[in-house]
Amino acid sequence: MTDNIIYLDNAATTAPCENAVKAMIRAAECFGNPSSLHGLGLKAEKLIRSASQTISSMLGVDSKNILFTSGGTEANNTAVFGAAEARKKLGTRIITSSIEHPSVLEAFRKLEGCGFDVAYIDVDSDGIINLDSLERTADDNTVLVSIMHVNNETGVIQPVEKVRDIINKKSPNALLHSDCVQSFGKIDVKPKKMGADMITISSHKIHGYKGTGALYIADTRMIKPMLFGGEQQGALRPGTENVAGILAFGAAAEACTIDNKYFLELRNTMREALLGISNVKINGSDIYNSGSILNVSFIGLKAEILLHALEAKGVYVSTGSACSSHKPQPSHVLKAMGLDSKEIDGAVRISFDASTTLENVMEAVNIMKKEAAAIRRYM
């Protein structure tokens, strides 16, 4: 924690770690263009390869299958649009869930307007996708299924491996993409074990810097490029690579220690303490959860009012996805789970990182309890 604050908005972004900061400095010293043939360029290219190998090793894949992007949104868009374009001669049905990140949902809606047959799979009250619905929906005309690994608002883990089983049985032409932005670095992410053809990851969610993400692609022939004008990264994502961002991503991945048990301890401790406050509801499965996110409704309160009251006391949380914070609207995730308007309006997302302590958790709970009570007195 930074001095005098308790930062519990790590699902939005994390503080850059020391390794990432050092990597940025190293990149500034090695300023050559990685496409240049002279020594400085070759050195920059070598550093990119090293970062790629670090990340691919963490995923258990070959580094040649890592495509660096400007972040999770670009990676998700590249996977969805690229796969749909590459496979449209095989079929036009594409499937996703109703709780995906906007960078997936909006891409599917765009494709729907371009003539693709889009199906949105619902979820249960715990925020877990309906596999029976997927099995009924998938067919031999299906060419793409995109189901996130860990939901960015609730932390609920989706059964991606079971999704793969359904695809194998019902949709032999379909590729499986999974948005792993909120799972990479928190729980074990192995695309081959998951059965995912493509996965999305992001640097600033694991203590790297904003502006860098990556897409794992099992076979680069699976997608068509979205950008044109260069041969970098096999011409799938042309343009001079963000050397500094990529090196920081690799350094952050190398420093990453996956301790799911600790995340669950933090979440469960806060969960039990918050349930001691009146008119509080926990949202999302407690069993299938990464532990890094806790979504809680302070029923009858406006989450934004509570957020600013907590901020004044040095506690930082969010009201949902950071990508939707400037467009005030009910959470599509909580709405899909069947929450009513009061539960949605009062929902706060609390998210942890490895530096969060149990003492931070209990101090934050005490402040939440006091601030919620104070707000209710003036309602």
Is 323 considered catalytic here?
Answer: yes
Other Cβ atoms closer than 10 A to 161: 12
Other Cβ atoms closer than 10 A to 190: 13
DSSP string, 97-153: ETT--HHHHHHHHHHHHTT-EEEEE-B-TTS-B-HHHHHHH--TTEEEEE--SB-TT
Report how far residue 317's alpha carbon sits from residue 303's, in angstroms, rounded to the nearest whole number.
10
Which among 17, 30, 180, 323 is annotated as catalytic?
323
Instruction: Please give the single-letter amino acid code of residue 60.
Output: G
CA angle 63, 66, 70 (to 5 degrees): 140
Q: How many helices (DSSP H) and strands (DSSP E) are in the chain?
A: 13, 12
Report how far residue 2's alpha carbon sits from residue 302's, in angstroms, rounded to the nearest whole number.
27
Other Cβ atoms closer than 10 A to 258: 17
Report how far residue 337's alpha carbon sits from residue 128's, in angstroms, rounded to the nearest whole number.
9
Q: In a 10 Å sphere around its CB, with 0-12 CB exposed, 13-18 middle and 19+ buried, how is residue 145 labelled?
A: buried
End-to-end Cα distance, the chain: 32
Measured on CA atoms in the order 344, 345, 349, 350, is the torsion positive or negative?
negative
Catalytic residues: 323
